[in-house]
Structure 1
């Protein structure tokens, strides 16, 4: 039988991303029982310490799939209604008519109409998420700042609405998932970190996945280099950062191996029920933080290649780091990739990111990893 994983092609594709300008990256690809893992480049640009495929990494909004799965578990138990108004549970955080009109499902699929809080939490990000005409100074100003999640939610809820509840396309907003964290805590009587750890992370047997206890990443990891559209040159290390700016909706630390295991088990119906998984895979159009319209479910989004079936997963970015994990609907083919630099594109005069060789190299890696 022909080997389903082309190791040479994968190694070349990973190396090409490094050559295109990413300091270091690592990946794992699975096809049935076959597993390939590889890495290229450095974890520390100053010392030349190499990256390895088993490093721990901040995975950003990939955490949203974990949060969504936890909420769906509570829907299964009857403690949360998927189409119930959020005002029933959190009347102080989303008061009045909006609390009556926005449902839990709308938070999960970003059709609530609630604005992104980040421009208000990081004052110099005045054009976030386009980020045009902004400076990187706020990253240093807030590196060790401890944010109160209800304060962040208040910024998003009181900001001008970006749409009417339920309207499509929705707009991707971290405000939605901070509210889901509060909803989880109210329904379970424990912190979201504790609930997700016990009922999602431990249920999936993820030995290298967890929420950070402070601003540091425990265990072997890479430094994270933020380029801020060429405004930070050379890119600066932001691997030490207080992640309360996104809270437990985007602060997980994991490995590419754990991510592949998690999405495989989720799509096999081993984290939530099959009926809950079907709800997670019901998509609506949502405008991403990059300004692209994507199909988005409940903490999941699809990618489809020619004749290769649909893949489900999520991407995530933090200051200096990024990751993408996608698993085919049948669970057999899985890909997880982590990179240690972000915002490498420079901006044109209108604030639009210009193409960069890294973009094409990453697209080629994803294509080889998912479709062979």
Structure 2
């Protein structure tokens, strides 16, 4: 079950110091040169191994330098059944959230034309209203930096059919709650990008898909790219099949995405290279210009940082600086397709990688594969020395930073239980290093270790990445951030009473207590029959006992039902993306209300037992213990929203 939760958390992350010693960038004379031949040798070794190791059917990679393609090649198969190989020119992939870069480009085009203003309330451009929070509206700048404060929303994000795709309807029916003030904390939002795309549609007077085609794709000569769903008949035969794993070999249906601006692009690697070359050349490719050079530079520049020295968010692009390089990029994940686009503006280099399978979670899935290939690419062609930080002589912060943390990218309305089960634990090791399990792990799934280099700052042991803890005004830890992951979320400190460290043991003990009580009640009649004894109860006690038993059954059924549903969500994320989990949640909400009444019945019966002198002390203690377990489970149902009747997820 834990593997399913980790897989779901990884999907969410896919679909984001000053006083520490910094790395000194060096490039030995013997370092390989960025040439077509050497790129071929590198990727011909890396990509086939990645496909085999992670059970992926096919992938593609393309590398550009300024205005030309240095390397482009497909690996594996676009169609396993027909044995059709992947082609960078002819095979369409689904870049997922990398599509957002086109939406943000469209927004910035309209900003250049004076039709949009980055710091104006988005409600000025809408025909419905986004509620304020703490008196602060949302601006386009907030949307581009993923700081509007929306909770995450997955329901309907990938509907079962393209017939269900409707940008306007989706946005008006799925307004997410605002859980943070705008501009304060990064929390990746597909809804926010959809909102920006709808603003483009309204202000331009063109359908979003048509606007992108007319003003970005066609000028750049991206003839094998589209946001249309379903695909046009001319492109549909070129679409790669999508697979869960290569060994499974069963092609899955075309994945619809709603809102389309957040991730509906279909494109070949060659077409993606044309977009990369345009952005690397200040918005121009050949005679076509889609943005001014100043606008492109502004999109690459950081407009939000979660901690000093840790890469943050530009306007649409997130920064992923590494090896002393400025890097702007964006990843993208559907259930089946997984992609990364990275731009090195100062070197004029861009790289796009995409895979057509979810891959084996036991091998880290495609997120680990993509990151490993890109990091190896950087280390080969733009090497750097591992930082040699001086020994830290200050007081250790381990006791201050250890504890449980959760993502700002989360849903508080209906999925607080999932957030609980997806918490991460910062622990201090005997050697003085920190681990963050299961979030920060190596390719083999083993926790990375982090050594302190400055107050509240840590560096990966034998690595370059940093882990930074950010305090509030009173010195308490507010959240941590790391450049080991994209800047799409930070990780907030969880109050002790709601942390997995405190809740887990008491929850487990309470559920086991109720389970044992229920089992004993079922076994007891057979035991009494064997020993020819009779249970002699006064009528009032007999009635309260009956209701107490019913309450325990409702409690047990509710808890087991919720854990079964969350496990099913982790194993099949389509329950969330298609929204098919909603009826089951409503059923469990009703069951939960009955369970709360059952808690009252259990407590009343326990109190009655102490007034009945005929009952033994053992029976009284047992019923009291059951009542305490029931009270805790009742608190759990309320605090974690399991009786909220909210299906906004």
TM-score normalised to the size of structure 2? Answer: 0.47
Q: Equivalent residue for 1:164?
A: 181
Contact 1:91 1:99 in 2 (8 A): no
1:27 aligns with 2:57: no
Q: Provide the aligned C-alpha RMSD in A.
A: 2.9
Q: Equivalent residue for 1:327?
A: 343
SS at 2:164 equivalent: coil
Q: Equivalent residue for 2:630?
A: none
Q: Distance in 1 between matches of 2:62 and 2:318?
A: 20
Q: Distance in 2 between matches of 1:357 and 1:167?
A: 31
Q: Equivalent residue for 2:108?
A: 72
More deviation in 26-35 or 5-14? 26-35
Q: Deviations over 1:85-128 (max 9, x none)?
A: 1111115142466896111111111100122331x337xxxxxx
Q: Distance in 1 between matches of 2:156 and 2:135?
A: 22
Q: Equivalent residue for 1:300?
A: 317
1:42 aligns with 2:77: yes
The one of 217, 237, 256 aligned to 1:201 = 217
Q: Residues 65 and 261 of structure 1: is their aligned pair in 2 closer, same or farther, counting only changes over 3 Å?
A: same
Q: Residues 238 and 163 of structure 1: is their aligned pair in 2 closer, same or farther, counting only changes over 3 Å?
A: farther
Q: Does 1 or 2 have the higher relative contact order (CA < 8 Å, sep 6+)?
A: 1
User: Displacement of 1:146 after TM fit?
Assistant: 0.7
Contact 1:117 1:153 in 2 (8 A): no
1:4 aligns with 2:26: no
Q: Distance in 2 between matches of 1:99 and 1:66?
A: 31
1:150 aligns with 2:168: yes
Q: Which has the larger radius of gyration?
A: 2
The one of 197, 217, 240 aligned to 2:254 = 240
SS at 2:47 equivalent: helix
Q: Residues 152 and 331 of structure 1: is their aligned pair in 2 closer, same or farther, counting only changes over 3 Å?
A: farther
Q: Distance in 2 between matches of 1:359 and 1:114?
A: 24
Q: Residues 358 and 279 of structure 1: is their aligned pair in 2 closer, same or farther, counting only changes over 3 Å?
A: closer
Aligned residues: 332
Gaps of 5+ in 1: 123-138, 287-292, 347-354
Q: Distance in 1 between matches of 2:356 and 2:248?
A: 14
Contact 1:162 1:171 in 2 (8 A): no
1:252 aligns with 2:265: yes
SS at 2:371 equivalent: helix
Q: Distance in 1 between matches of 2:41 and 2:247?
A: 33
Structure with the largest fraction of helix: 2
1:275 aligns with 2:297: no
SS at 1:305 equivalent: coil
Q: Residues 93 and 79 of structure 1: is their aligned pair in 2 closer, same or farther, counting only changes over 3 Å?
A: same
SS at 2:111 equivalent: helix
Contact 2:162 2:229 in 1 (8 A): no
User: Displacement of 1:213 after TM fit?
Assistant: 4.2
Q: Distance in 2 between matches of 1:221 and 1:302?
A: 30
User: Displacement of 1:368 after TM fit?
Assistant: 4.3
Gaps of 5+ in 2: 1-28, 284-289, 382-649
User: Displacement of 1:144 after TM fit?
Assistant: 4.6
Q: Equivalent residue for 2:202?
A: 186
Q: Residues 155 and 116 of structure 1: is their aligned pair in 2 closer, same or farther, counting only changes over 3 Å?
A: farther
Q: Equivalent residue for 1:351?
A: none
Q: Residues 66 and 144 of structure 1: is their aligned pair in 2 closer, same or farther, counting only changes over 3 Å?
A: closer
Q: Distance in 1 between matches of 2:205 and 2:221?
A: 23
Q: Residues 91 and 294 of structure 1: is their aligned pair in 2 closer, same or farther, counting only changes over 3 Å?
A: farther
Q: Distance in 2 between matches of 1:64 and 1:208?
A: 18
1:174 aligns with 2:174: no
Q: Deviations over 1:317-352 (max 9, x none)?
A: 123112111121136222111101126325xxxxxx
Contact 1:117 1:155 in 2 (8 A): no
1:52 aligns with 2:52: no
TM-score normalised to the size of structure 1? Answer: 0.79
